[in-house]
């Protein structure tokens, strides 16, 4: 078993709200049979502000090592689209306590998980390394909560017969440089309402990501553009179905971190790591979809106790375009095991 645990403290007092503690636990179960069959599953267990506990299945899939360059995975898996969700989101890996604007779990623009079948692998390409992932899955859905737009998480069923197809192509031209492009094509069904018949619309997303990780430097960025064609849907169950125009979502972030061990071997100081990230999420479409728009910068300082145990302190400056700003100070302790 592997996984990670997280303890949080949030101080949004700049906006007049209450401070709070939080915690979560993500056990990951790994089982294999020789080098051929591999099963993995992750649970995400969160303490809610209501006093209850929320448990979700982050992923559960079976992989078959078909060839040296081909792994076939079936079940629920992290979407291979982009870089942040599949590689960086675990709290002991993410260098800041927050996720970038537009890359959040509810109402974001990056595919999170998928339920279906995926083929992926990596192979040498001259002196470089190339990797690929293609998948077929149930695909995204329109949220019942209009402000969340399209939900990009893996659903254990489908509400139409059109499956989502997507993937990512990656290239590592140098050991410390990674580049990737991603795509997703699907059809999204409108929601039923008090009256009327919903229709469906084409949805697609494209993305690009890059990472430079050399010595004490960790510099990376990612961009995603997604579009939903016009369709008829009910924005909530009490409303009648009505046509909505096409919607476009843009999100991107750029992040830089520097481990002070690159400057000094002084006790304690070498374990510090300043981090800065700027992220932006914009939406063009109906007002309800635009409520998640945001410009955010996050400035943080990490202290690494071990390679997988970190205390993060960060200030989040959140300029929410259609809501009150939500500046926050956060402390987070994360431990990967």
Site residues (CB under 8 A) for another protein?
2, 28, 30-32, 34-38, 40, 63-74, 78, 86-88, 92-93, 116-117, 119-124, 129, 131, 133, 136, 160-163, 165, 175-176, 178, 187, 211, 213, 304, 307-308, 336
Number of H helices, E strands in the chain: 1, 20
Q: How far is the CB of 162 from another protein (least distance, A)?
A: 5
Pick between residue 292 and residue 310 the one whose CB is nearest to another protein. 310
Q: How far is the CB of 53 from another protein (least distance, A)?
A: 26
Pick between residue 134 and residue 286 the one whose CB is nearest to another protein. 134
Q: How far is the CB of 216 from another protein (least distance, A)?
A: 11
The answer to whether the CB of 198 falls within 8 A of the CB of 189 is: yes
Could you give the CA distance from residue 256 to residue 59 in angstroms, rounded to a whole number? 29
How many CB atoms sit inside 10 A of residue 237's CB?
Answer: 10
Could you give the CA distance from residue 24 to residue 15 in angstroms, rounded to a whole number? 25
**Residue 288 is inside which H or E element, if any?**
helix 287-290
The answer to whether the CB of 174 falls within 8 A of the CB of 272 is: no
Pick between residue 16 and residue 307 the one whose CB is nearest to another protein. 307
Q: How far is the CB of 297 from another protein (least distance, A)?
A: 23
Q: How far is the CB of 172 from another protein (least distance, A)?
A: 8
3-state secondary structure of 317: strand
Q: Exposed e or buried b for every residue in 38-69, given b needs 16+ CB within 10 A?
A: bebbbbbeebeeeeeeeeeebbbbebebeeee
How many CB atoms sit inside 10 A of residue 160's CB?
Answer: 13
Pick between residue 166 and residue 193 the one whose CB is nearest to another protein. 166
* DSSP assignment letter at 67: E
Pick between residue 165 and residue 313 the one whose CB is nearest to another protein. 165
Pick between residue 72 and residue 242 the one whose CB is nearest to another protein. 72
Could you give the CA distance from residue 181 to residue 3 in angstroms, rounded to a whole number? 28
Q: How far is the CB of 266 from another protein (least distance, A)?
A: 19
């Amino acid at each position: 078993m592997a996984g990670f645990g997280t303890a949080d403290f949030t101080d949004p007092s700049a906006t007049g709200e209450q401070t709070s503690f939080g915690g979560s636990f993500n056990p990951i179960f790994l089982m294999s049979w020789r080098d051929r069959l591999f099963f993995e599953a992750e649970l995400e267990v969160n303490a809610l502000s209501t006093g209850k506990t929320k448990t979700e299945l982050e992923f559960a899939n079976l992989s078959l090592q078909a060839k040296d360059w081909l792994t076939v995975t079936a079940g629920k898996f992290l979407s291979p689209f982009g870089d942040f969700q599949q590689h960086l989101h675990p709290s002991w890996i993410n260098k800041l306590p927050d996720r970038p604007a537009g890359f959040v779990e509810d109402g974001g623009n990056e595919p999170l998980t998928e339920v279906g079948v995926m083929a992926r692998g990596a192979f040498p390409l001259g002196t470089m390394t190339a990797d690929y992932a293609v998948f077929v899955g149930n695909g995204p859905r329109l949220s019942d909560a209009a402000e969340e737009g399209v939900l990009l998480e893996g659903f254990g069923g489908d509400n139409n017969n059109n499956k989502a197809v997507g993937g990512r192509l990656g290239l590592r031209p140098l050991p410390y440089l990674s580049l990737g492009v991603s795509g997703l094509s699907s059809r999204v069904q409108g929601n039923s309402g008090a009256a009327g018949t919903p229709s469906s619309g084409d949805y697609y997303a494209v993305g690009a990501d890059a990472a430079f990780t050399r010595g004490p430097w960790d510099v990376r960025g990612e961009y995603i553009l997604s579009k939903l064609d016009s369709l008829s849907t009910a924005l909530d169950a009490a409303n009648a179905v009505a046509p909505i125009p096409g919607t476009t979502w843009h999100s991107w972030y750029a992040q830089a971190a520097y481990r002070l061990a690159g400057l000094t071997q002084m006790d304690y100081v070498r374990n510090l790591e300043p981090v800065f990230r700027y992220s932006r999420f914009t939406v063009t479409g109906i007002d309800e979809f635009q409520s998640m728009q945001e410009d955010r910068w996050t400035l943080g300082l990490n202290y690494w106790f071990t390679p997988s145990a970190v205390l993060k302190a960060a200030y989040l400056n959140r300029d929410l375009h259609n809501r009150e700003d939500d500046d926050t100070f956060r402390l987070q302790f994360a431990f990967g095991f």
